[in-house]
Structure 1
């Protein structure tokens, strides 16, 4: 079970450490857009859409990594005071009752739209924009898959905690 946890968490660790570069690229692109607009009076729609694509990629693809490093939003009113086993029990219930089903439903309902977008290689959002809306839409099922991968890893880790065993060390953040 520990080997499976290590493999699943390694996926989101690698993806998270890779996709974080989107933040720097987004910053540099936005700086270039502002420079072009206010210094040279030039504006390109595809550059503005580039910021949108990078932003979407950062947050959608980075979702599994955020869950891995436990930096997602949580209401700690009841959770913070619990023991490790109490936290594992709450997390297990939350993963099984809410996170896993919602990701499966989102994947199932988004897939036909993404598939149709790929079939026609759907073009830009705006005239003069990036001619690859199908890539942007593909982030939704990718998000679901990465969250499900991390959800399974968390469930296995929580099961070890409930058994009184210690899970493998978390990947480097």
Structure 2
């Protein structure tokens, strides 16, 4: 059981209320994870600011979702995998085969996106110490050195939310239930 509250706009700390109102306008509801972040309005603001910056990178919306999903999968964040699966399919219009391959940690049907996912997995798994073949393959796939830094930004965003959610244990919102993901099942196949 979590020791953290999932705040609504009405009962959140005052500094978090306008931030949650913004989430309400953007999503049509306040996602539970953001309600959990409201415990610290500064952390909530940081997460929203990083997300806004990541949206402005040179990565396409589909590429952004590949980064966010791959990092969340590597960190076994059940909540964030469901959210970004939904956003990838419905907001970024990613092909379902790409999202499903990511969720199963299988090669992606698009070679460039597969290089992006592989690089992102390596960034998380190796705690940023990605050099040699992994970096060379990412650049050879057509990505720039600037995009290396943009992947770091996306991983930073997901590290914040994934780690915080491991502590908060935000229940998955009904709006994301169709994309529920089972990390333990995946881990039992590939983490042994």
What TM-score range do you get, normalising by the shorter chain?
under 0.3
Structure (1 or 2) with the greater helix fraction: 1
Q: Larger RCO: Structure 1 or Structure 2 (Cα < 8 Å, ≥ 6 residues apart)?
A: 1
Bigger radius of gyration among the two: 1
TM-score by length of 1: 0.26
TM-score by length of 2: 0.24
